[in-house]
Structure 1
């Protein structure tokens, strides 16, 4: 069990109505969360660890700006080629006895990453991954999967590909606040981009997405620079805490403090469910999180 410290975060604007309703009408049974997976893409750069952030239209429980990810779907149970650690191994890593659920999260993570960025953690064997995935043919495949015209399984099988589950690393499990109207139970994973692949936006749905330097984003967290750059009605003039869910902000902090990809990925994390709770501080509604304290090898800045 990690050592925990109390942290306070800004309540994102899109959650304020739900939060006030929750308080006014009294606490009640929370809405059931949807299962989701998200992948934190990583790469080293001269200025520090970089990660891919994208804009999410609407009021996503993952945040206005978020790592690639989304809901699991029924197709994630379909049979497909599997390379790397077994679903049983993943269940142990994720701290669950439900092997089927663990498998679904892995498939969903790799599928969502493919849909949103084109990065495909798959290959014909354990020593090879797909290359040159930015062609019009691959974009059509992404669109077909995103629109559920084809299953992810079909796309892989047609090309003789299997999932490279060895390219994923488990991170953390975040649960949306009880008061939120749209809730996710999200498993986060990390991965580096395979050789000769580059993330790109989905043509039909992509609005904004790019590599960001984690250290710089955290240094500028109290400014509106990133939100202004995205340039959407619900991002302009907002600080980092108003654009991200607490889980994403904490992960960015840890990336900012990590000494490169290898150090970040090799850190041993124990399974734990984190959930923001609604609190009132000085007449202002905030989100309280019990987050892991600073640990040797993975320092974290306190706010």
Structure 2
């Protein structure tokens, strides 16, 4: 990620910072075509949800990152997430804020879409990690979801052989939507061949649950201390650890998307999980733009400069 006086001016009165993020190599061809042939109608962005799973550690707040192949709109290294599916709009057992309350929080009038984003967030988190934000009532959370039986259930949901609603009702469970916190709203840049309209949420790792890659699907995933990732973002340490052909030798900005890097910065600046989840946020929308500076492509984003959760001043 690049910040220069010309490209990234600060506005003290608004607390905003214009920033230029490196463009991942997987997006070079699409960017060149967009510029060479002139702006066209962007491809439709698919609605998606992503969950930032966090926990405390002696070194600072950790978050769970995973490798996503194929130039995912969420990034090659990103938080769990994916696009909405038809079953996400169906009625489902529910504990927590009402759809009306969630509609206000997300700024979405269509409550069917509100339900879909929340169900998608919890479903994708369950499919990709096995962490399930559900319980038998508004105070309980299911435990020990890393058994062989639960792995089979995850595979069935991921393969769309079973719906999450069916799984929950069979076990007398309801979604604990109160464990989710909305973070932000990001829309993929117009030139991208695959575009997401993504709602980001945060959640603490439930007690007696531990994330685990989906059998036969995952390549790499793990807990990373956010402050360490940000401290070493200009190095290739994370990309080399992932070890994929499209991650080795690349710094953070070329591994992922601006929302992931911005969220990591916010987590790195917080005092702890409770502090991070307790922040009352104004839900902002971001739409990175493609710019060319000195013959090189960047993603232009305006972000806030304030740290969150009683931060330690590490946000940039």
Q: TM-score range by the shorter chain?
A: over 0.9
Matched, 1:119 2:135: no
Report SS of the residue matched to 1:93: helix
Contact 1:293/1:300 (<8 A) preserved: no
Matched, 1:72 2:70: no
Segments of 4+ moved more than 6 angstroms: none
What's the C-alpha RMSD, in Å, of the aligned pairs? 1.2
2:210 aligned residue: 198
Q: Which residue of 1 aligns with 2:9?
A: none
User: What is the CA–CA distance in structure 2 between the aligned matches of 1:228 and 1:295, rounded to whole Å?
Assistant: 29
Pairs within 5 Å for 1:145-224: 145-224=157-236
The reply to whether residue 274 of structure 1 matches residue 281 of structure 2 is no
2:269, 2:307 within 8 Å by CA — same for their partners in 1? no
Aligned to 1:56: 68
SS at match of 1:232: coil
How many residues are aligned here?
301
TM-score (norm 2): 0.93
Distance 2:286 2:260 in 1: 12
Of stretches 258-267 and 61-70 in structure 1, the one that deviates more from structure 2 is 258-267
| Partner secondary structure for residue 88 of structure 2 | helix
Query: What is the distance in 1 between the residues matched to 2:155 and 2:116?
Result: 21
Equivalences for 1:120-139 in 2 at 5 Å?
Answer: 120-139=132-151
Q: Equivalents in 2 of 1:176, 1:246: separation in Å?
A: 10
Distance 1:215 1:166 in 2: 27
Q: 1:291 aligns with which of 294, 300, 303?
A: 303
Deviates most, 103-112 or 274-283: 274-283
Show structure 1 runs of 5+ residues with no match.
Answer: none
Which deviations, in whole Å up to 9, do the C-alpha atoms of 1:219-270 show, x marking residues without a partner?
A: 1101111111111111111111110101100100111111111111111211
The range that moved more, 108-117 or 94-103, is 94-103
Say whether residues 1:8 and 2:20 are aligned partners.
yes
Greater relative CO (CA pairs within 8 A, separation 6+): 1
> Any idea what SS the aligned residue of 1:198 has?
coil
Q: 1:143·1:204 contact (CA, 8 Å) conserved in 2? A: no
Distance 1:27 1:244 in 2: 24
The two structures have a TM-score, normalised by structure 1, of 0.97
For 1:84-123, list aligned pairs within 5 A: 84-123=96-135
Q: Secondary structure at the match of 2:72?
A: coil
Cα distance in 2 for residues equivalent to 1:225 and 1:4:
29
Once the 2 structures are TM-superposed, how far is the Cα of residue 43 of structure 1 from its aligned partner?
Answer: 0.4
Aligned twin of 2:10: none
Structure 2 gap ranges (5+): 1-13
2:239 to 213, 227, 251: 227
Contact 1:294–1:300 under 8 Å retained in 2: no
Shift of residue 101, structure 1, vs aligned partner: 1.0
